[in-house]
A and B are shown apart, each in its own frame.
Chain A
């Protein structure tokens, strides 16, 4: 057991912190939440220059070839700063593409993801808001060497910025297929923006007889289901890493506030009732942090632990959201205002809780893994 960060991870963490402090301050987070898409583009441009989208892409395909644990360390910092940027979407898509895609598709897309030409976002969920691949209804019929796709995907993050969507469809014979679909200014794709608590762009995507080359298929049948299961697990761990960082930031903020806010002539943080709230929050943040690290560590180029991945997302979803609500209690009236930044964290935590399978979804997965 080694709970420490590697030298590379320490470096990633320190440089990410420094960068994000300047480039993802609360003013930028608020601007993006109010619809400033230029701010998203500017931040993403810088992030591409830092090479973050290429972090886990293999060296063979123009990436840095780092591990999922390294990515998790970076994502914690993104979570702590609420960075309004599609790094999880891009990283998870490239991870799945690398694990399941054909050689030609990988050679074509991965280097472009690494250099920022291509940005892929997962588009899995439909009307029923389920991350279960079985519930996919969006239809694809074969026409020559193309697929013709019709139907609606919902809750697609950063669809407005993405060049491609990684989407699951059901083909004529009833089999699922995981496909990379070009969506940037594409005919036959309509975006419906949602007003989402995350404060970043989230849309529904309507495909109307959209033609996509068959060579864009990553996997079909059983393998497609397996790929989506892994996408949900990896995305869940990635979101959990962000939630872990977010939780840590909220604990720090609550400690800072209660140590300085005075009532009855003493800091309110000297009262046992307040200290016990904060102790509980610190325990929750630590637990999520450990489970995320254990889960991220289980991901390799050969697979992952279904069990630990589910544990991380359950814990992050439930514990970090609860921690945020407790932080509001610790902040008193000021934490109830629009002006104070705390609700930005709470909104993001509530939104991330639902992403890549919520707690109930992953509990069911975990129960299966336990033989129940």
Chain B
């Protein structure tokens, strides 16, 4: 039992923190809106800076340009990036698709793509969900038909984050419609500039264009872009999701938001003075502080177990559920503390905290929905973690 970081971990965290001090604008509050060109430029600058310092793919094995960093180090990295609301942490390439290629990709694919991911040159996006396949992903219908040396891909992907900024997509397609759902799926790489690919923006309830629908109309994809075996894409595709499911981002965002609220109620210039004099506010903020620390420890525990070689599937689901919910509790309370100001939109005159809390509350409604809804995660916890029977 030891609840402290090693000197090496502390040192890394402080180096990363000073890098972010340098590279983030002085008045940076985040979060980044990647449909804004200035924020996207910042994303690219930070990504390159991280790559130059060897941090972007530090989780990778040495042979692919990484430094084989421990799961705990990777968590510290993700936590600090999220705590600062810094853009530039390329999860799709570095945390999801890169490791999948290392395990399932051909030599040629690894040579072709891993280097560019490590240098922060190529933006990837993830083509999994479809209009009719959300939680029940294995029912996906986007079709890839063999035609000589190519596949012809037709169908639609949806909720695709950063498709409007991406160069490449890794995508699940149905290659054998006769087989059972999980058996007829393949994982392929698609160049987003291919003829027949159309990216249609979807604006979310916070007014932000962060995800898209992507239409594939007879898109020609070379067979050399198949990752893993034909019709064995489910296995490769699920590897990605294990990297996706962690609560550390939410835990760090929640901590940052909570600290902003504590500063706000302590700030003599704050317009909402009632928050300062109301004793229930300090009690509620203390409760949220406990909740934030609890989910933070859950995320560290997942990394600790991964570091020992375990695959803590139920624990990862627990951390995702708890952290995404706690983050919303903090944001809800922020909006509540701000009272009448709480519902002023960003950019409004007389907004407090730049209208950030209301917008974040709307935006992160997605937390309990994306990357496997919290309801699906709870099924995983009950069935894989507690051993309850499947119905």
A: which residues have CB within 8 A of B?
A: 1-6, 9, 69, 251, 255, 258-259, 266-267, 269-272, 274-276, 278-280, 282-283, 286-288, 290-291, 293-294, 296-298, 308, 310-311, 314-315, 360, 363-364, 366-367, 370-372
Contact present for B301 and A290 (CB under 8 Å): yes
A-B pairs with beta carbons under 8 Å apart, 18 shown:
A1-B304, A2-B304, A3-B1, A269-B388, A271-B391, A275-B379, A276-B375, A282-B386, A286-B301, A286-B315, A286-B318, A287-B295, A297-B2, A363-B287, A363-B290, A366-B290, A371-B262, A371-B266
A371 to B261, CA, bound (A): 12
Residue among A275, A276, A278, A280 facing the most chain B CB atoms (10 A cut-off): A275
Name the distance in Å between B246's Cβ and chain A's nearest Cβ.
15
Give chain A residues whose Cβ lies under 8 Å from the Cβ of B387: 255, 259
Name the distance in Å between A11's Cβ and chain B's nearest Cβ.
14
Q: Please give me the 4 A-B residue pairs with the lowest Cβ-Cβ distance, nearest first.
A: A275-B382, A290-B297, A279-B378, A367-B282
Q: Which of B1-19 contact A (CB under 8 A)?
A: 1-5
Contact present for B283 and A270 (CB under 8 Å): no
Instruction: Say yes or no: is B293 at the interface (Cβ < 8 Å to chain A).
Output: yes
Give chain A residues whose Cβ lies under 8 Å from the Cβ of B295: 287
- With A297-B1, A371-B262 as contacts: A287 and B286 at CB distance below 8 Å: no
Name the distance in Å between B330's Cβ and chain A's nearest Cβ.
14
Give chain A residues whose Cβ lies under 8 Å from the Cβ of B362: none
Residue among B293, B298, B388 making CB contact with A275, cutoff 8 Å: B388
Instruction: Say yes or no: is B72 at the interface (Cβ < 8 Å to chain A).
Output: yes
Instruction: Say yes or no: is B385 at the interface (Cβ < 8 Å to chain A).
Output: yes
Since A287-B298, A366-B290 are in contact, a sample of 4 more A-B pairs with Cβ atoms closer than 8 Å, ordered by chain A residue number, is A4-B1, A315-B294, A367-B286, A372-B266
Give chain A residues whose Cβ lies under 8 Å from the Cβ of B294: 287-288, 290-291, 311, 315
A2 to B294, CA, bound (A): 15
Name the distance in Å between B255's Cβ and chain A's nearest Cβ.
12
Q: Which of B285-310 contact A (CB under 8 A)?
A: 285-287, 289-290, 293-295, 297-298, 300-301, 303-305, 308
Closest chain A residue, CB of each to CB of B293: A311
Residue among B281, B286, B315 facing the most chain A CB atoms (10 A cut-off): B286
- With A363-B287, A366-B286 as contacts: A287 and B381 at CB distance below 8 Å: no
Name the distance in Å between B7's Cβ and chain A's nearest Cβ.
13
A372 to B276, CA, bound (A): 9
Contact present for A1 and B388 (CB under 8 Å): no
Main secondary structure of the interface of B (DSSP, over half): helix
Main secondary structure of the interface of A (DSSP, over half): helix
Contact present for A270 and B386 (CB under 8 Å): no
Instruction: Say yes or no: is B265 at the interface (Cβ < 8 Å to chain A).
Output: yes
A269 to B385, CA, bound (A): 13
A137 to B197, CA, bound (A): 79
Instruction: Say yes or no: is B148 at the interface (Cβ < 8 Å to chain A).
Output: no
- With A255-B387, A279-B381, A372-B266 as contacts: A367 and B300 at CB distance below 8 Å: no
Give chain A residues whose Cβ lies under 8 Å from the Cβ of B262: 370-372
Give chain B residues whose Cβ lies under 8 Å from the Cβ of A310: 286, 290
A272 to B282, CA, bound (A): 37
Closest chain B residue, CB of each to CB of A255: B386
- With A3-B1, A366-B290 as contacts: A259 and B388 at CB distance below 8 Å: yes
Instruction: Say yes or no: is B389 at the interface (Cβ < 8 Å to chain A).
Output: yes
Name the distance in Å between A297's Cβ and chain B's nearest Cβ.
5
Closest chain A residue, CB of each to CB of B294: A287
Give chain B residues whose Cβ lies under 8 Å from the Cβ of A372: 262, 265-266, 281-282, 285-286
Name the distance in Å between B368's Cβ and chain A's nearest Cβ.
13
Instruction: Say yes or no: is B322 at the interface (Cβ < 8 Å to chain A).
Output: yes
Closest chain A residue, CB of each to CB of B307: A1
- With A282-B318, A366-B286 as contacts: A5 and B386 at CB distance below 8 Å: no
- With A269-B389, A282-B385 as contacts: A6 and B293 at CB distance below 8 Å: no
Contact present for B286 and A314 (CB under 8 Å): yes
Closest chain B residue, CB of each to CB of A287: B294
Give chain A residues whose Cβ lies under 8 Å from the Cβ of B382: 269, 275-276, 278-279, 282
A360 to B314, CA, bound (A): 32
Give chain A residues whose Cβ lies under 8 Å from the Cβ of B289: 311, 366, 370
A134 to B88, CA, bound (A): 52
Give chain B residues whose Cβ lies under 8 Å from the Cβ of A270: 388-391
Contact present for A364 and B282 (CB under 8 Å): yes
A278 to B388, CA, bound (A): 9
Instruction: Say yes or no: is B173 at the interface (Cβ < 8 Å to chain A).
Output: no
Residue among B4, B262, B289, B318 facing the most chain A CB atoms (10 A cut-off): B289
Instruction: Say yes or no: is B116 at the interface (Cβ < 8 Å to chain A).
Output: no
Give chain B residues whose Cβ lies under 8 Å from the Cβ of A298: 3
Contact present for A290 and B290 (CB under 8 Å): no
Instruction: Say yes or no: is B111 at the interface (Cβ < 8 Å to chain A).
Output: no
A294 to B5, CA, bound (A): 13
Contact present for B1 and A2 (CB under 8 Å): yes
A274 to B375, CA, bound (A): 12
Instruction: Say yes or no: is B321 at the interface (Cβ < 8 Å to chain A).
Output: yes
Closest chain B residue, CB of each to CB of A312: B290
A294 to B387, CA, bound (A): 28
Contact present for B389 and A360 (CB under 8 Å): no
Give chain B residues whose Cβ lies under 8 Å from the Cβ of A274: 388
Give chain B residues whose Cβ lies under 8 Å from the Cβ of A293: 1, 3
A372 to B277, CA, bound (A): 10
A239 to B385, CA, bound (A): 26
A4 to B294, CA, bound (A): 17
Contact present for A290 and B378 (CB under 8 Å): no
Residue among B285, B308, B379, B386 making CB contact with A272, cutoff 8 Å: B379
Instruction: Say yes or no: is B67 at the interface (Cβ < 8 Å to chain A).
Output: no
Contact present for B386 and A278 (CB under 8 Å): yes
Residue among A1, A276, A314 making CB contact with B300, cutoff 8 Å: A1
A272 to B295, CA, bound (A): 24
Give chain A residues whose Cβ lies under 8 Å from the Cβ of B285: 367, 370, 372
B213-241 interface bits toward A, Cβ cutoff 8 Å, 1 = contact, 0 = none: 00000000000000000000000000000
A269 to B300, CA, bound (A): 29
A315 to B2, CA, bound (A): 20
Q: Which of B235-266 contact A (CB under 8 A)?
A: 262, 265-266
- With A370-B285, A372-B265 as contacts: A6 and B290 at CB distance below 8 Å: no
Closest chain B residue, CB of each to CB of A290: B297
Contact present for B391 and A266 (CB under 8 Å): yes
Name the distance in Å between A84's Cβ and chain B's nearest Cβ.
28
Name the distance in Å between B290's Cβ and chain A's nearest Cβ.
4
Give chain B residues whose Cβ lies under 8 Å from the Cβ of A364: 282-283, 286
Name the distance in Å between A210's Cβ and chain B's nearest Cβ.
38
Name the distance in Å between A160's Cβ and chain B's nearest Cβ.
35
